[in-house]
Amino acid sequence: MDNCLFCKIIRGEIPSYKIYEDEYTYAFLDISNDSNGHMLVVPKKHCENLLDCDSQTLANLTATIQKLGKHLTENCGFEGMNVITNCGKASGQEVFHLHFHILPRRKDDGISVFAPLNKNDESLEEICACLKVQQKESNKADEASNDRNIVLYTDGACSGNPGMGGWGAILMYKGVEKVLSGGEKETTNNRMELTAVIKGLEKIKGSQHVDVYSDSAYVVNAFLQDWISSWRSRGWKTTKGEVQNLDLWQQLIALTEKHDVVWHKVKGHADNEYNNRCDALAVGEIEKMRKTL
């Protein structure tokens, strides 16, 4: 999610006071500094709120909340905590990336979670040296893993649907780009979108962390909304017959089992430079084929 505030915080594009991080979740101090240690726990996988979140992501989040809660009560002198999540504008949600607020609590601390919280000058930084240590360690781990990160942008295009199609992919690793593209005479837009990701992931050796950026809701939501699990549990059948493009889905699923893929949906034909370049690659392939007819 290119423009999502918390996705940017997770990617390190906006600074945050990181408290904890693992493969699936990220916790950082709330900027409001209104109650001692007010922190937010978010999934790395973007979803809007609890209502559109898949159960695995939710399980990862609750595991992190529990870990932090145990740490706060066992090591930091807190006696309890409130865990709150807002769902939707009507509830007061302001940032539309799922987050749980953790309010560490002490007996008689005067906090009322149902009343507006007051600014609090005492910050967690002073009271919880152990969390700070944890932060330093995870920063170190980050530095080590940052240069392993691979980014893959993809796009597919079709002239007629079905019709002549093309795909484009840009792989980026340590600032080096690899540009890939291809086409097919008779295909569909969705097949080209899937093919672009497959071809990109196939080029990556070993097992890597890959951030995949695609403007195809069909491809990205299959993972973010976990359509795959329901297809699998129904024997790859829908009410209309076999899941469409099953051959490609199976290739892609195998690749996502090999690599640690984080999916990002980007807005198509907007101002994302790499998405636009992938689109141009895909359209270029269609034009090349047309000329050889």
**Residue window 83-102: x/- pattern of binding to Zn ion, with contact defined by CB under 5 A:** --------------x-----
Q: Which two tokens stand for residue 185?
A: 């005479």
55-75 and 129-146 helices cross at what angle (nearest 10)? 140
Size of the site for ligand 5GP (CB under 6 A): 14
* Subset of 15-34 contacting ligand 5GP (CB under 6 A): 16, 28-32
The answer to whether residue 120 forms part of the interface with ligand 5GP (CB under 6 A) is no
Q: Is 142 a catalytic residue?
A: no
Q: Is 34 a catalytic residue?
A: no
Stretch that binds ligand 5GP, among 92-100, 134-142, 177-185, 240-248 (CB under 6 A): 92-100
Length of the chain: 293
Residue nearest to ligand 5GP (CB): 31
- Least separation in angstroms between residue 129's CB and ligand 5GP is 20
The answer to whether residue 95 forms part of the interface with ligand 5GP (CB under 6 A) is yes
Q: Give the H/E segment covering residue 288.
A: helix 273-291
Sign, CA torsion 48/238/169/166: negative
Residue 97 binds which entry of Zn ion, ligand 5GP, none, CB below 5-8 Å type-dependent: Zn ion
**Residue window 49-88: x/- pattern of binding to ligand 5GP, with contact defined by CB under 6 A:** -------------------------------------x--
Beta bridge partners of 20: 27
Q: Is 279 a catalytic residue?
A: yes
Sign, CA torsion 139/84/97/189: positive
217-224 and 246-258 helices cross at what angle (nearest 10)? 50
Whose structure tokens read 């066992």?
A: 74
The answer to whether residue 7 forms part of the interface with Zn ion (CB under 5 A) is yes
Q: Which residues contact 15 (CB under 8 A, 6 or more apart)?
A: 9
Q: Is 147 a catalytic residue?
A: no
Instruction: Find the catalytic residue in 13, 74, 80, 269.
Output: 269
The answer to whether residue 149 forms part of the interface with ligand 5GP (CB under 6 A) is no
- Rounded Cα–Cα distance for residues 277 and 155 (Å): 9
Instruction: Find the catalytic residue in 30, 97, 156, 200.
Output: 156
| SS3 category, 237 | strand
Looking at residue 220, its amino acid is V
Q: Beta-strand (E) ranges in 217-259?
A: 237-238, 241-242
Instruction: Find the catalytic residue in 30, 155, 184, 285.
Output: 155
Q: Which two tokens stand for residue 192?
A: 């080209």
- Least separation in angstroms between residue 135's CB and ligand 5GP is 14
Active site residue ranges = 155-156, 193, 215, 269, 279
Which residues contact ligand 5GP (rule: CB under 6 A)? Answer: 5, 14, 16, 28-32, 40, 86, 92-95
